[in-house]
Amino acid sequence: MANMNESASNTVSSPTHHIQAEASTASSWPDITQLSLEHNPDIFTIVCCNDSFQLALDHNTIKTLLRVCKRARPLLSSKVAHFHSSCHSMELFNPDGQMRIGLTPSDQIAISLHCEDQATADRSWLVSQAEQGNTAASYFLARILQVDLDKGRVKWSEHQTTKQQIFHHLESAAEANHSMAHFYLAQCYRNGFGVNRDHTKAVELYHRHAEQGISWAQVALGRCYESGEGVDQDYNTAIEWYSKAADQGNEDSRLHIVFLRGWFSFIGHGVDQSDVDALTHWQEVSTQSTNPVIKTIATHMVGWMHYLGRGTQLDKQKGVKIIRDNQSDAFKLGEDECLASMWNNIKSDSAAACKFFHLCHLGSDRDWLCRHLMALCLVNGFGTIQDQEKAAGIIEQLANEGHSDSQLWMGECYRSDGGVSKDFKKAFEWFSKSAKQDNSYGQWMVGVCYYFRYGVTKDYTKAVEWYRKSAEQGNRCGQYSLGECYQLGRGVPEHIDTAASWYRKSADQDYQWAIDSLKDLGKWP
């Protein structure tokens, strides 16, 4: 069986290759249904389980092979069970029983056929098979090493070596025409993972398979055209490739198209400007997509639409909550960083951050919000190189146009020496302009200025007045600051219960300082 198994492993990801290899003997198969199980049942099983075999066989042949596959399954099930046992011992399964590695059923069978005993966590059997040229084993070993990296199981000093090993195994599998190995190999070139970054090479790999109708390659190629990586940026061509994948039922590519149409509607790029259409598209992506990049960005923009009342009824509290809850390590723009003008360290070059900045830049000459958000990215180095001076220039233009959120940020630029020389008096003036437009964060910051004497005479009574305006709009920052005034008796008579009441309102919105204050008062939870 050794030669037969070797043949089987080489057909794992390319049933077409197997069919072509056997073409010369096809005439010797007068009736495939009469073949005994001695006629390479494992090859039939591998072909039938392969994710792409339908591209190479007609429907009647598929049905015939599946019947043979069903008869052969008992000969293979025990080996696959051992393989799964070994994977469990190596922690390669999620708690729900699903394998964490992107391995097809045919890959599992191919590796199982080569291994006599996989009941231990020793990885040597897999390494041995990869060294002998087993395509599936090379691919699987690369994916296992990737899991080790992702889970922090590799010493920092060995990271680069491990990345190079992953690239080597993927390259070996790709040379044997393993489809998914091609995908991850292209990712290596795209990200400079274990090899010098080469966007052109990545596009070449994507294009080769995209032309063959492979949906993952079509999606990846669409992203390259969308971002201009390795090719000239072309949104129309990007959508064409996304559409090809969507026609095959690829939901991620369909939602990529919906996502882009949301931006095009928002900024009037090639279509009539429509806030309603933009919001509709973004809501669909926000609720249906599992893609962490477009889902996060779409959700963030849904929050802004509610906050500003664009394309929907104005609901600042709902918008703020969406923006706050959407914040993550991969997308650090939350309430504090966007709306409350806090200078947090959110520098990021994550995929979501870079895409967000790129899209904001695309619409920066068409919509003030895109320009405002682009400036916030420049303030923080979020998806781009940090440039606070350039950011302050953009924010000042928008502030002079009367946008209260930009006025708030202009005040913060002057208060914190962000891109302009520190000037508390000018900071207070800009905060006041924002507050007079009923911006709850502007009102809060006017209160802060009176409380801490930023550009104005200290006045706790006026601080309380502005804190209250902010707090009564549901602003968690204003609620906390008002509670602090009641706790300390500044600007109002000391009253612990009232302080706790305002702290509670703020804490209900997950404001950590309010939670800590309630703990200090012995009123948490």
Residues 6+ apart with CB under 8 A from 87: 93, 99, 101
Element (H, E) at 267: helix 251-267
**SS3 call for 488:** helix
Q: Which of 197, 221, 243 is the last residue of a domain?
A: 197
Residue 469 lies in a domain: yes
End-to-end CA distance of the chain: 67
- CA-based nearest residue to 144, from 158, 162, 161: 162
Residue 231 lies in a domain: no
**SS3 call for 404:** helix
* Rounded (5°) CA angle 439-442-446: 140
SS3 for 179-227 is: HHHHHHHHHHHHHCCCCCCCHHHHHHHHHHHHCCCCHHHHHHHHHHHHH
Output the CA torsion sign for 455, 457, 460, 461.
negative
**Nearest 10 degrees: Cα torsion 137, 141, 144, 149:** -170
Residue 285 lies in a domain: no
**Nearest 10 degrees: Cα torsion 337, 341, 347, 351:** 40
> pLDDT tens digit string along 485-497?
999 999 999 999 9
> pLDDT tens digit string along 26-58?
333 334 334 333 444 444 444 444 544 544 555
Domain carrying residue 115: 1-197
Average pLDDT, the chain: 85
389 CB neighbour count, 10 Å cutoff: 11
Residue 58 lies in a domain: yes
Cβ–Cβ under 8 Å, residues 256 and 242: yes
Residue 39 lies in a domain: yes
Write out the chain's pLDDT in tens, 525 residues. Answer: 333 333 333 333 333 333 233 333 333 333 433 433 344 444 444 444 454 454 455 556 656 655 655 555 555 556 677 777 777 766 677 677 777 676 766 677 667 766 655 444 467 777 888 888 888 889 989 988 988 898 888 999 999 999 999 999 999 999 988 878 888 999 999 999 999 999 999 999 999 889 988 888 999 999 999 999 999 999 999 999 999 999 999 999 999 999 999 999 999 999 999 999 999 999 999 999 999 999 999 999 999 999 999 999 999 999 999 999 999 999 999 999 999 988 888 999 999 999 999 999 999 999 999 999 999 999 999 999 999 999 999 999 999 999 999 999 999 999 999 999 999 999 999 999 999 999 999 999 999 999 999 999 999 999 999 999 999 999 999 999 999 999 999 999 999 999 999 999 999 999 999 999 999 999 998
**SS3 call for 382:** strand
Residue 355 lies in a domain: no
Q: Which of 197, 217, 250 is the last residue of a domain?
A: 197
Instruction: Burial-class residue 162 by CB neighbours within 10 Å (0-12, 13-18, 19+).
Output: middle
**Nearest 10 degrees: Cα torsion 265, 269, 273, 275:** 30
CA 320 to chain centroid: 21
Number of structural domains (the chain) is 2
Residue 252 lies in a domain: no
Q: Which pTM was predicted?
A: 0.76
Residue 64 lies in a domain: yes
- CA-based nearest residue to 428, from 457, 396, 464: 457
> pLDDT tens digit string along 189-208?
999 999 999 999 999 999 98
**SS3 call for 39:** coil
Residues 6+ apart with CB under 8 A from 26: none
Residues 6+ apart with CB under 8 A from 234: 225
pLDDT of residue 295: 97
Q: Which of 159, 182, 197 is the last residue of a domain?
A: 197
